[in-house]
Amino acid sequence: MNVLGWKTEEYELGYVAEKLTGYVFTVDGKPLEFNDFIPLDGHDIEEAGYLSDTQSVESAPYLACCTCGIIECDAVQAIVKFEGDSVAWSAFRYYYGKPTTLGEYRFGRAQYCETIRSLLEHVKKASSSEGH
């Protein structure tokens, strides 16, 4: 089984003259990196359903964002399937109406859920501190 993690990472958008902080998923300690994509911002993570089976392509949670910073432009997403004591991710890119498979991962259910909850809590805290 794979081990899911996450980390924050600084990145730049071409039209923003400052460094931004985003979120990157890791698998077995290595960042999930997709060419021509940037880390997710907290808003992309809050909106996603990482803790339930994916019901449709439209509800698939995001793993990375287009370099323009607009998630609706282009993104890497994951089909999430809870299967007994494990959770399967099938990463794909839905580009111009055609899904392209980018990899499959299988995590222990307890470790996966703990990691996602920790990420969601971090995003929530970061979001609330930005509002003050």
Mean pLDDT of 98-105: 76
Each residue's pLDDT tens digit, 61-83? 999 888 888 888 888 888 899 99
Q: Using pLDDT thresholds of 50, 70 and 90, give the confidence band for residue 97.
A: low
Query: Which pLDDT score, from 0 to 100, does residue 131 have?
Result: 54
- Both tokens of 34, joined, read 């997709």
Write down the pLDDT at residue 47: 60
CB 54 within 8 A of CB 78: yes
CB 35 within 8 A of CB 64: no
Residue extents of the structural domains in the chain = 4-130
CATH number of 4-130: 3.30.2450
Distance CA 64, CA 8 (A): 13
**Closest to 52 (Cα-Cα) out of 23, 77, 87, 25:** 87
Q: Kindly report whether the global pTM for this prediction surpasses the value 0.85.
A: yes
Q: What is the pLDDT of residue 99?
A: 67
E-assigned strand segments in 40-97: 62-66, 75-83, 86-95
